[in-house]
Amino acid sequence: MIVWDCNEKSLDGFNPEIGWVRVDLRKLFHIHRVCELKRRRLQSEASRKQSLRRVLEKYSRRERNRARDFIHKTTTVIAEAFKGYVHGFEDLNKEKMFNKSRTHNRNVAKSDWKTIIGLMSYKSRVRLLNPYNSSRRCSSGIVNVPKGALYECKGCGLKIDRQLNACINLYLQMEGLSPSPKLFVELMKRWGGFTLTGGEADVGSDEPVRGFEACEPQGLSMDQYLSILSLEPQ
C-alpha cells in the first residue's frame, strides 16, 4: 500500500519500501490560475455584454477540460508506476477548509482532490483515510505542532517536512498502528530516507540528543512515464 497527502501543488506519497514520492501538480495549479485571471478581467463587463458571457463560459469549459486531461494522465502514471498497490487518500472536505483568507479560499476552491481520487478509484484500489491532525501530529510520537513547512517536534527532536510527516501518519493509520518512537525507527530502517543528527548533550548525560532529519523526496516525473504509457505531455 502507498498513502498520499493531497496538497495545493503536489501529491506526496509514502511507503516504507519505496520511500517518499512527490508528484508535481504545479502545472494543474497554473491551468486554474491562468483561467481565473482571464475570467476576472472579463467578469465586470460580462454582466452587460452577452458576448462576454459566452467568452467566460468558453474559458470555464477550457479550464475544466485541460484540468481533467492533466489529472487523467497523472493518475494513469501513478497507477502504472505503483501497479498492484492499494492507494490511501485523505477524505478531505473542502467546506471545512475555508477560513477568513480570500487567497486561501480561492486556492482550496481550485483544488482537484476529489477528481484525482475519483479517477484513481477507476484505475487502482483506493481507501479513504481520516485527515484529522495528520500534518500536526508527530509521526514519531503524540505531540501536536503548529502549522509550518518544517515540522520540528520538541518532544523527540524529529525534523521533517510537514507533507512527509502527514504521509507517515496516514500510512500508520492505514496499517492500524499508532505513532511511537520505536515504530518510527523501524519504518526509517526499512526506507533509509532519514539521517541521524547529533546535538548538544542532554542534562546529566554524555550522549548527544539525537534526532532524525529527512532526505529529499523522489520526484515522479510526468515526462519520464508518459513515454512508457504512450501519452504525450501537453
Q: Is residue 42 part of a domain?
A: yes
Q: What range does the domain containing 111 cover?
A: 7-11+13-85+97-124
> CB-hemisphere CA count at 13 Å for 110?
25
Instruction: Give how many domains the chain has, as a whole number.
Output: 1
Q: How distant is the alpha carbon of residue 77 from its chain centre?
A: 16
pLDDT in the model for residue 220 = 54
Q: Is residue 172 part of a domain?
A: no
Q: Which tens digits make up the pLDDT trace of 29-84?
A: 889 888 888 877 777 666 666 667 777 788 888 889 999 999 999 999 899 989 99
- The region, left, alpha or beta by phi > 0 then psi within -120 to 50, assigned to residue 20 is beta
Q: Is residue 104 part of a domain?
A: yes
Q: Is residue 20 part of a domain?
A: yes
Q: Is residue 167 part of a domain?
A: no
Q: Is residue 39 part of a domain?
A: yes
Q: Is residue 168 part of a domain?
A: no
For the chain, the first-to-last Cα distance in angstroms comes to: 30
Q: Which tens digits make up the pLDDT trace of 10-27?
A: 889 999 888 888 888 889
pTM of the model: 0.74
Q: Is residue 77 part of a domain?
A: yes
